[in-house]
Structure 1
Amino acid sequence: MSRITSAALAVTSALALVAGTAAAAVAAPAPGPAAEAKVAPVDWKPCNPDPSQPDPKIYDCAVYQVPLDYDHPNGETTGIAMMRRRASDPAKRIGSLFLNPGGPGGSGYLWATTARFGKDVQDRFDLVGFDPRGVARSNPLKCFTTDEEAAAVNDRMVGVPVTRAEIAQTIDATEDYSDACSRNAGPLIEHMSTINVVRDLDRMRRAVGDSKLNFAGFSYGTLIGATYAGMYPDKVRALIVDGNVDPNLRMHNGVEYDRQRAAGFEVALAEFLKRCQAAGAPRCAFGDGDTRAKFDAARDHLRTNPVTLPDGTQVTLSNFTSQVANALYSQARQAPIAKSLQALHQVINAQAAPAAAAQGLAAAPAAVDPAVVEDAKALAAPVPNALREALPETPYSADDSYYGVNCQDKPYPSNPWTLANLAKPWEKESPTFGRYQAFDGPTCASWPAPARDAERFTGPWNRKTATPVMVIGNLYDPATNYGFSQRMQRQLGNAVLVSVDVVEHCAVGRSTELGKLVTDYLLNQKAPAPGQLLKPDTEAFPPIA
């Protein structure tokens, strides 16, 4: 391990916090030290997370009822689906470790089976995964009644709309989406903000019999963790936040938060291309030549000319951008995406060759290898919704919790064209992801339960916990840039930042060095020394044996 150098910190210089944000909602009052109200215990039942495999006899499941509206705690309830992996050494059990994978809208139910935490943690803790309210198995928020009805709206949305017609079509579709939510989602749509998830989490903490919370939150889950620390600082035993949001910015200015997310994706992309070129071909298939110039040429070509492959499949700017973004989330996807990028580069050049040959500028083109075409096809596929599980045998198999949470948490203008008009200037700052990120917000402009009407926790985030919060940030995290993790550490009242030198989203389970620090923290409440810079266990482009 090493200390973070000034050069490493410089990757976030373009991501500095912009002064001035939207008006804050009133912060929810944190509870005092009064005695806790008792809640019903969780009624666990044995279950098997994978019925195709022998029952390991270590898992239990439950649906725990919590108030739908905490202003009316004795009124209607909603169920939270929970799974636990019982501690392997019950005699030395410390308590429960609650887990959230992010999203928002990510299903955490099966995270009870996660291998991100080592044997020592599994011996001493019950691992508890849960689907937050409105997600997957927990009374999923549903804006449509059938998959066909959803497709009729969603298929009209262009992920990276460029022309005026594409933009208008996309905005019309987002408004129809919001109208469907208004008709079909029911009262839960008004109670999806993070403050409610945190209240649910505190109820579950009491319901499993823990006097204090042990929690690991990833990505959006870091907002859950930070909010818990802000609301219940005296109830924190150990809290890990990995791949962090900037809580203050996210809850006060959704537009600026999204702009800085786009810049973070650009930083991660630049580092991916740099490391690919340094590795060279064949370790990185795209590493032959100037990776930056090749990438930019392909992206700019797609902006006006979708590439039609020999079998009729089209690579569009939208799918290209989402596939590249998806690959930056995980080192394991980066060698495959490099292979696809090289294939697309070859196809574009081959398709341009006939015109050049006709003008005497190049030799007649050779046919493109079918294997190359197959590699390029990966860039044509839509990216599935990450961390979300489609439950079988339902007329509408998805849920709409992503916007259900985001639109209640993040303040946006009420006119979707205000956001659409930001796409062009954002694209100048962030050529690959500026327009892509600008069109994540218009749905919230017309959302039937927007942030301006919701009860939200907007800080302060600086209340001190007895044990420092363990903040983990990757230097080149695409989705939650490293500057967000730095700000999370500063905003919390008592926190230590550990950094990992990797292009990836979140780090726990990816570094043996980090795993040792995590284990010591959870078991012994020993905060890591500040300023550590760790390495992952693997490289995206390892040497070829």
Structure 2
Amino acid sequence: MAIASAFALVAGTAAAASAAPDPGAVASAAEARVEPVAWTPCNPDPTKPDPGIYDCAVYPVPLDYDHPSGEKIGIAMMRRRAADPAKRIGSLFLNPGGPGGSGYLWATTTRFGKDVQDRFDLVGFDPRGVARSNPLKCFTTDEEAAAVFDRQVGVPVTKAEVDATLDATEDYTDACSRNAGPLIEHMSTENVVRDLDRMRRAVGDKQLSYAGFSYGTLIGATYAGMYPDKVRAVIIDGNVDPNLRLHNGLEYDRQRAAGFELALDEFLKRCKAAGAPRCAFGEGDTRARFDALRDHLRTSPVTLADGTTVTLSSFTSQVANALYAQSRQAPLAKSLQALDDAIAQQGAPSLVAPKAVSDDAKALAVTVPSALREALPETPYSADDSYYGVNCQDKPYPSNPRVFANLARAWEKESPTFGRYQAFDAPACASWPAPARDAERYSGPWNRRTANPVMVIGNLYDPATQYKFAERMQRQLGSAVLVTVDVVEHCAVGRSAALGKLVTSYLVDQAVPAPGQVLKPDTEAFPPLS
């Protein structure tokens, strides 16, 4: 089944699965029976020859678990069949985070080694409301969405920018009230976890094997709390603080901004240590030079030679985006140096910057959206609104949007690059049509002892989910071990051979890693010049 036809099934009413289950795909007699998944062969990339190892399905789950026999929605699933069926252990479910991240094509991931691919069906899925799984949509066309989103400023500084952003945000949530339908009331992580457990039974696994990244760690922790006896092997990488996130959205976001600041500071220190040319921004006091760039943009956007403009919003979003992956950090350093050169030359019109310098600086002129909005491009509104659909149901926030503007000033003092940026990530939750106080939310306990220990992975300088979140996750769970990686990056599986060995042993043999390990990534952000 092609991806497009999978979406067509999801967009309509999901049909009940009727195919015979795989060998051994029989749910435990102690559990309520669910229909098996009706897999159909599919090709993840129709532009290439079909490798013949993938299947797709649209699995029906209740819209509202308080009425399990009522309306159904479809969860789009893809699996990469185990390469060694005779030694197959079961399914490994995957979630890339977000919330709002599409996990459908994660069945094709290469983050896991050969032994894992031999022994497990890799199962990717789009959670409810995401991409191919009945996407939650607040608009009917891209033009309607642009009329709202184009009025928002990612890092608003002036009163006019703040007012325009908050007004547009209220128009956004009004559109969600009109267009999103009943699904908007059932987007919490608790509902996603109920879907996951139903899929686990539907593929015939007695216990869950799962790997979740970023927000996906909350799915794993919630599963461990709701179904502790069904945990076979759960890996959570790039961890949230589940208790804080579910009880105080504002404080969680304040600490998240601090995590970005810690990662930025380490990036600048490592750049300085590497020096130029290994790190293009590595000359002099990298911290002071970066702060000068940011402070300049706060009052004076920079127009480059080709007419493109670097703003505080575009700059901040690009810096944040680069901290997510080591592979983006050397290019970021080039862009910072190019912007520094462009500012220096603004006062000297006789000096013309080389085109290559302008091209490097131009990268900082493109704003990276803070919210994941993933859907299929052939739809009139080619995005979805699951990011807020989940966050606003999980994280309690005040109902007065002006609170965010007031907090932005305080957060900016302690997190000068990312405090204001983070404060304006969630004002939509103040007027969200289905807020956390009315939602079906699992907010603990988190310390139920699972059938097998959970593997928690944390990077020392993870920008989006700072390391102390991983430490708290390990402590809050009833049975878990923490493995640490010394890197400036968000999430680590697939980035370290040493970690890969531990992951493989844990998934295949259920060998729990020894606590206290600190590992290195396979590559550096600024490797020695050859």
- Same fold at TM > 0.5: yes
Tell me the equivalent position of 1:159. Answer: 154
Distance (Å, rounded) in 1 between the aligned partners of 2:347 and 2:517: 49
In the alignment, structure 1 residue 142 sits paired with structure 2 residue 137: yes
How far did 1:392 drift? 2.5
How far did 1:389 drift? 3.6
Distance (Å, rounded) in 1 between the aligned partners of 2:503 and 2:393: 32
Distance (Å, rounded) in 2 between the aligned partners of 1:352 and 1:260: 39
**What's the TM-score once normalised by structure 1's chain length?**
0.91
Tell me the equivalent position of 1:342. Answer: 337
Q: Give, as a single letter, the amino acid of the residue that structure 1 aligns with 2:107.
A: A
Identify which of 220, 224, 245 aligns with 1:229: 224
Q: Give, as a single letter, the amino acid of the residue that structure 2 aligns with 1:435.
A: R
Tell me the equivalent position of 1:10. Answer: none
Q: Give, as a single letter, the amino acid of the residue that structure 1 aligns with 2:486.
A: D
Q: Deviations over 1:355-393 (max 9, x none)?
A: xxxxxxxxxx52211211111000001225676544132
Tell me the equivalent position of 1:516. Answer: 501
In the alignment, structure 1 residue 46 sits paired with structure 2 residue 31: no
SS of the equivalent of 1:378 reads helix
Distance (Å, rounded) in 2 between the aligned partners of 1:434 and 1:38: 48
SS of the equivalent of 2:364 reads coil
SS of the equivalent of 1:477 reads coil
Tell me the equivalent position of 1:24. Answer: none
Tell me the equivalent position of 2:405. Answer: 420
Q: Deviations over 1:65-116 (max 9, x none)?
A: 0000000000001000000000000000000000000000000000000000
How far did 1:446 drift? 0.6
In the alignment, structure 1 residue 500 sits paired with structure 2 residue 485: yes
Distance (Å, rounded) in 2 between the aligned partners of 1:110 and 1:152: 31
Q: Deviations over 1:505-524 (max 9, x none)?
A: 00000000000000000001
Matches within 5 A, 1:391-430: 391-430=376-415
Q: Deviations over 1:448-504 (max 9, x none)?
A: 000011110000000011211000000000000001000000000000000000000
SS of the equivalent of 1:244 reads coil
How far did 1:340 drift? 0.3
- Structure 2 gaps, min length 5: 1-27
Distance (Å, rounded) in 2 between the aligned partners of 1:48 and 1:522: 26
Tell me the equivalent position of 2:285. Answer: 290
Identify which of 301, 305, 311 aligns with 1:306: 301
Distance (Å, rounded) in 2 between the aligned partners of 1:540 and 1:347: 24
Q: Give, as a single letter, the amino acid of the residue that structure 1 aligns with 2:80.
A: R
Task: Detail structure 1 runs of 4+ shifted over 4 Å in the superposition.
Answer: 384-388
Q: Give, as a single letter, the amino acid of the residue that structure 2 aligns with 1:161.
A: P
Q: Give, as a single letter, the amino acid of the residue that structure 2 aligns with 1:535.
A: K
**What's the TM-score once normalised by structure 2's chain length?**
0.94
How far did 1:353 drift? 4.4
Task: Count residues with an aligned counterpart.
Answer: 503
How far did 1:352 drift? 3.4
Distance (Å, rounded) in 2 between the aligned partners of 1:386 and 1:455: 22
The two structures, once aligned, show a CA RMSD in angstroms of 1.1
In the alignment, structure 1 residue 56 sits paired with structure 2 residue 41: no
SS of the equivalent of 1:379 reads helix
Q: Say whether the 8 Å CA contact 1:229–1:465 is kept in structure 2.
A: yes
Tell me the equivalent position of 2:467. Answer: 482
How far did 1:34 drift? 9.1
Identify which of 322, 326, 334 aligns with 1:327: 322
Distance (Å, rounded) in 1 between the aligned partners of 2:136 and 2:451: 36
Matches within 5 A, 1:80-479: 80-353=75-348, 366-384=351-369, 389-479=374-464
> CA distance change for structure 1 residues 443 and 305 in 2, over 3 Å: closer, same or farther?
same
Distance (Å, rounded) in 2 between the aligned partners of 1:209 and 1:194: 23
SS of the equivalent of 1:499 reads strand
How far did 1:123 drift? 0.1
Distance (Å, rounded) in 1 between the aligned partners of 2:308 and 2:207: 54
Tell me the equivalent position of 1:68. Answer: 63
Q: Deviations over 1:118-138 (max 9, x none)?
A: 100000000000000000000
How far did 1:173 drift? 0.5
How far did 1:258 drift? 0.2
Q: Say whether the 8 Å CA contact 1:101–1:387 is kept in structure 2.
A: no
Q: Say whether the 8 Å CA contact 2:317–2:370 is kept in structure 1.
A: no
Distance (Å, rounded) in 1 between the aligned partners of 2:369 and 2:203: 34
* Between 501-510 and 282-291, the greater mean CA deviation after superposition: 282-291
Distance (Å, rounded) in 2 between the aligned partners of 1:129 and 1:370: 43
Distance (Å, rounded) in 1 between the aligned partners of 2:62 and 2:186: 10
Distance (Å, rounded) in 2 between the aligned partners of 1:122 and 1:449: 40
Distance (Å, rounded) in 1 between the aligned partners of 2:403 and 2:293: 29
